[in-house]
Amino acid sequence: MSVRNAREAQPSWGATPAAERGAALSAAAAAVRDRADELAKVLEEETGRPFESGREGVLAGAGTLAQYAELGPVHRGRSLHGSAGAADFMIPEPRGVVVALTPWNDPVAIACGLLGAALVTGNAVVHKPSERCPRTGRLLGEVLAAHFPPDVLQTVDGGGEVGAALAADPGVDVVAHVGSTATGRAIAGGSRAKLLLENGGNDPLVVDADVDPAWAAGQAALGAFTNAGQLCTSVERIYLHEAIAVPFLDALCGLAREWNADPQPLVDQRHADAVHAHVSEAVAAGAEVLVGGEPDGRHYPATVLTGCTPDMRVWTQETFGPVAPVRLVPSFEQALHEAAADEYGLAATVLTASMAHAQRAWRALPVGTVKVNAVFGGAPGGAAQPRRASGTGYGYGPELLDEMTTTKVVHLGQPG
Ligand code: NAD
Q: For residue 1, what pLDDT is reported?
A: 84
User: Residue 172's pLDDT band (boundaries 50, 70, 90)?
Assistant: very high
Q: Which of 126, 183, 266, 278 to mutate to test the pocket of ligand 1 (most atoms within 8 A of CB)?
A: 183
**Tens of pLDDT, residues 20-44:** 999 999 999 999 999 999 999 999 9
Q: What is the average per-residue pLDDT within 249-258?
A: 98
Query: How far away, in angstroms, is 114 Cα from ligand 1 center?
Result: 14
* Predicted confidence (pLDDT) at residue 352 exceeds the cutoff of 90: yes
Residues contacting residue 54 through CB under 8 Å, at least 6 positions apart: 39, 40, 43, 44, 47, 108
- Distance CA(192)–CA(190), nearest Å, equals 7
243 alpha carbon, distance to own chain's centre: 34
Is the pLDDT score of 231 beyond 90?
yes
Q: What is the rounded CA–CA span in Å between residue 154 and residue 138? A: 10
Burial of residue 140 (CB within 10 Å: 0-12, 13-18, 19+) is: buried
Q: Which residues contact 364 (CB under 8 A, 6 or more apart)?
A: 336, 340
Structural domains in the chain plus CATH codes: 2-199+390-412 (3.40.605.10), 204-372 (3.40.309.10)
Query: Could you tell me the pLDDT band of residue 322, with boundaries at 50, 70 and 90?
Result: very high
Q: How far apart are CA 164 and CA 172, in angstroms?
A: 12
Give the per-residue pLDDT at 198.
98
Rounded Cα gap, residues 26 and 23, in angstroms: 5
Pocket test for ligand 1, best of 180, 187, 278, 400 (most atoms within 8 A of CB): 180
| First-residue to last-residue Cα distance in the chain | 47
Overall average pLDDT of the 222-246 stretch: 98
Q: Which positions ≥6 away from 241 have C-beta within 8 Å?
A: 207, 208, 209, 328, 329, 330, 331, 332, 335
HSE of 311, CA atoms in CB hemisphere, 13 A? 3
354 CB burial (10 A radius; 0-12, 13-18, 19+):
middle
**pLDDT reading at 378 higher than 90:** no
Using CA atoms in the order 143, 145, 146, 152, what is the torsion angle rounded to 10 degrees? Answer: 170
Average pLDDT, stretch 211-227? Answer: 98
Query: Ligand 1 centre from 198 Cα, in Å?
Result: 9
pLDDT above 90: residue 403 = yes
The three-class DSSP label of residue 17 is coil
- Is the CB of residue 367 less than 8 Å from the CB of residue 346? yes
Q: Provide, rounded to the nearest whole percent, the portion of the chain with pLDDT above 70.
A: 100
So what's the pLDDT on residue 416? 85
- The interaxial angle of helices 51-71 and 107-120, nearest 10 deg, is 10
Ligand 1: distance of its center to the CA of 163 in Å?
10
Strands 235-241 and 323-329 turn out to be parallel
**How many angstroms does the Cα of residue 94 sit away from the middle of ligand 1?**
25
CA of 177 relative to ligand 1 center, distance in Å: 7
| Phi, psi angles (nearest 5°) of residue 159 | -100, -155
347 and 237 in contact (C-beta within 8 Å)?
A: no
Q: What is the pTM of this model?
A: 0.97
Identify which of 87, 86, 75 has the alpha carbon closest to the alpha carbon of residue 22: 75
Residue pLDDT, tens place only, 92-144: 999 999 999 999 999 999 999 999 999 999 999 999 999 999 999 999 999 99
Amino acid 382: pLDDT = 82
> How many angstroms separate the CA atoms of 371 and 82, rounded?
44
pLDDT value at 152 more than 90:
yes
Question: Which residues fall within 8 angstroms of residue 362, CB to CB, at 6 or more apart?
Answer: 350, 370, 372
pLDDT band for position 72 (50/70/90)?
very high
Q: Give 74's pLDDT tier (boundaries 50, 70, 90).
A: very high
Average pLDDT, rounded, for the chain: 97
* Strand-pair category, 97-101 with 174-178: parallel
Residue 356, pLDDT above cutoff 90: yes
Mean pLDDT of the 356-369 span = 97
> Residue 144 CA to chain centroid, in angstroms?
21
Distance CA 401, CA 397 (A): 8
Cα-based torsion angle of the residue sequence 28, 33, 37, 43 in order, rounded to the nearest 10 degrees: 60
Q: Please write the tens of the pLDDT for every residue from 80-96.
A: 999 999 999 999 999 99
For ligand 1, atom 7: residue with the closest CA: 101
Please say whether the dihedral angle defined by the alpha carbons of residues 397, 37, 135 and 300, taken in this order, is positive or negative: positive
Q: Which atom of ligand 1 is nearest to the CA of 167?
A: 20
29/340 Cα distance (integer angstroms)? 39
